């Protein structure tokens, strides 16, 4: 659909293509004249999806204060350096942040905006007369609203731990509420996603590509169970996904371009359209002088990619450290699909080479555009049209493998890890690390595989927190000795939770700050 507010009702029929509803349209239509039929119901649901395109959620930034999106959450830890520290992660890593920081308030506000729109949808969808909407459509739309509310609350729980649980449209006098516990938020996330699984179809028509499906709800449920160490829940959620038609994209590098957006590997994506005002993204944007300087791959990550014989660079005879260009030869193909080395061409239309002129000496490649100007004349530093993959099938396979390892079902984990490796022609676990590994050894293999497979997709902080290894990641980041960067793990676990925004505490005297941030 196109964002033309004056004819917005007509646009409801275009579904969930690459651009979602402009948030202003919901304000312009009064409650009395809205939620009366299927067209308006679809508009209301699109209004929830629109929140996912907020800069601080999935759209991304190049240089906005407190504007780091989930895409940049690899900067919380050892994968990447946020050189524009004012965006959030850089200051957070240096313990140079307090509860007034926009990183916290921007994220909090966007998540509750989405929750508010989902609550409005769930209250009003049930009221639409049966004559004005088919049962199948109503069921699907309710499922999408529950999925999206579950997504927003899962992020609140993971990053803020305790937060208000609001499940209805609030009147002004009801808006001042205390926070609920992590356990209460978690129960609601599982409830919403479980119900969404039952309500959502396995697929949508091509015109509705981007709407959540049964697989998306199962994948998000599995991820949340993984965070909570409910490993049987992970297996239960991923088992039906094995027969829903997902598969790995043949090319790892091509997947993270616009040509890969319809791959069967994509389980749930946030869609963007470069040529629609306020509907583009900046996570694939960069600069003409060097690749995305605010998001720099770190040395310890680059060195963690194995050689093509499946061995670390410290033991493989294939590794040649002589120059930046020789260091990338005979390495896991996912490395050069994700990272630029000194003298790599990063803008093909200008034949412009990266000169290693970042603080880490490496440049980000994954998801970034490769030309200085698009075919329609839009610059590399302007909003683009690359979809962001919130859930993909490789992650499903690795989550399932991890659950099996933690449940000590070791033999069943090997084929899943091998499947992910085979896509990039890396050796199997048996041939590289050996068969019959101990649980600890196979756990190490799995964690390495997640790191190199999912690098720069925003999941590193999520993984480090749940593994209890974030402090060690800070130490690795510090050991990289990036100039003017001083990662400092905050005591007592403060580095593992976000502060409730000061603006919220000032506005609502029933809210109490997390003790670590008082």
CATH of the domain at 56: 1.25.40.890
Residue 257 included in any domain: no
pLDDT at 6: 26
Its pTM stands at: 0.94
Where helices occur in 126-205 by DSSP H, the ranges are 135-160, 182-199
- pLDDT tens for residues 190-238? 999 999 999 999 999 999 999 999 999 999 999 999 999 999 999 999 9
CA count, 13 A, side-chain hemisphere, 372: 11
pLDDT at 32: 60
Residue 255 included in any domain: no
- pLDDT tens for residues 296-335? 999 999 999 999 999 999 999 999 999 999 999 999 999 9
Distance CA 212, CA 15 (A): 12
Distance CA 414, CA 428 (A): 8
For 424-469, the DSSP string reads: TTPPPHHHHT-SS--HHHHHHHHHHHHHHHHTTSS-HHHHHHHHT-
Angle at CA 133, nearest 5°, toward 131 and 138?
A: 135
Instruction: Determine the 3-state secondary structure of 391 from DSSP.
Output: strand
Domain total in the chain: 1
How do 339-340 and 80-81 pair as beta strands?
A: unpaired
Averaged over 485-507, what is the pLDDT?
97
pLDDT at 33: 75
Residue 451 included in any domain: no
Residue 487 included in any domain: no
For 329-343, the DSSP string reads: TTB-HHHHTTEEPTT
pLDDT at 30: 55
Q: Which residues contact 448 (CB under 8 A, 6 or more apart)?
A: 304
Residue 96 included in any domain: yes
CA 447 to chain centre: 18
pLDDT surpassing 90 at residue 16: no
- pLDDT tens for residues 437-492? 999 999 999 999 999 999 999 999 999 999 999 999 999 999 999 999 999 999 99
pLDDT at 5: 27
Residue 126 included in any domain: yes
- pLDDT tens for residues 134-169? 999 999 999 999 999 999 999 999 999 999 999 999
Instruction: Determine the 3-state secondary structure of 345 from DSSP.
Output: strand
- 321 vs 62, which has greater pLDDT? 321
Look up the domain containing 97 and give its range: 36-67+89-200+492-517
Residue 219 token pair: 């994948």
Residue 286 included in any domain: no
């Amino acid at each position: 659909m196109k964002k033309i507010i004056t004819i917005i009702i007509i646009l409801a029929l275009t579904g969930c293509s690459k651009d979602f509803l402009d948030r202003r349209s919901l304000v312009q239509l009064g409650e009395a004249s809205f939620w009366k039929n299927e067209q308006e119901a679809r508009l209301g649901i699109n209004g929830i999806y629109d929140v996912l395109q907020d800069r601080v959620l999935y759209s991304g930034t190049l240089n906005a204060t407190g504007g780091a999106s989930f895409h940049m959450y690899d900067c919380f830890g050892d994968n990447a350096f946020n050189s524009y520290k004012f965006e959030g992660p850089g200051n957070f890593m240096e313990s140079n942040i307090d509860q007034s920081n926009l990183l916290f308030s921007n994220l909090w506000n966007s998540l509750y905006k989405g929750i508010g729109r989902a609550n409005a949808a769930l209250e009003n969808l049930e009221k639409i007369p049966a004559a004005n909407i088919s049962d199948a459509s109503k069921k699907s739309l309710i499922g999408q609203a529950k999925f999206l509310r579950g997504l927003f609350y899962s992020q609140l729980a993971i990053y803020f731990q305790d937060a208000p649980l609001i499940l209805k449209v609030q009147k002004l006098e009801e808006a001042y509420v205390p926070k609920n516990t992590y356990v209460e938020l978690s129960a609601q996330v599982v409830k919403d996603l479980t119900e969404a699984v039952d309500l959502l179809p396995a697929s949508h028509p091509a015109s509705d590509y981007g709407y959540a499906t049964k697989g998306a709800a199962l994948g998000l449920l599995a991820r949340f169970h993984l965070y909570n160490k409910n490993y049987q829940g992970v297996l239960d959620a991923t088992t039906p996904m094995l027969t829903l038609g997902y598969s790995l994209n043949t090319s790892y590098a091509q997947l993270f371009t616009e040509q890969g957006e319809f791959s069967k590997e994509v389980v749930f994506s946030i869609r963007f359209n470069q040529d629609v005002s306020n509907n583009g993204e900046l996570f694939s944007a960069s600069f003409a002088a060097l690749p995305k300087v605010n998001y720099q791959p770190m040395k310890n990550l680059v060195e963690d990619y194995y050689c093509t014989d499946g061995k670390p660079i410290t033991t493989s005879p294939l590794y040649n450290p002589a120059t930046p260009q020789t260091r990338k030869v005979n390495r896991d193909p996912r490395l050069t699909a994700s990272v630029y080395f000194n003298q790599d061409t990063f803008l093909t239309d200008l034949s412009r080479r990266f000169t290693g002129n970042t603080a880490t000496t490496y440049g980000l490649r994954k998801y970034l555009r490769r030309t200085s100007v698009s075919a329609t004349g839009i610059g590399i530093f302007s909003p683009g049209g690359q979809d962001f993959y919130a859930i993909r099938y490789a992650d499903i396979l690795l989550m399932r493998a991890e659950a099996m390892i933690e449940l000590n079902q070791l033999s069943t984990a090997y084929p899943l890890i091998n499947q992910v490796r085979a896509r990039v022609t890396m050796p199997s676990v048996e041939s590289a690390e050996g068969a019959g590994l101990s649980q600890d050894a196979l756990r190490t293999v799995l964690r390495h595989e997640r790191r190199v497979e999912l690098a720069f997709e925003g999941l590193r902080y999520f993984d480090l927190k749940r593994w209890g290894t974030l402090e060690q990641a800070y130490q690795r980041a510090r050991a990289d000795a990036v100039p003017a960067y001083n990662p400092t793990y905050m005591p007592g676990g403060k580095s593992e939770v976000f502060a409730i925004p000061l603006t919220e505490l000032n506005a609502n005297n029933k809210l109490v700050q997390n003790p670590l941030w008082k």
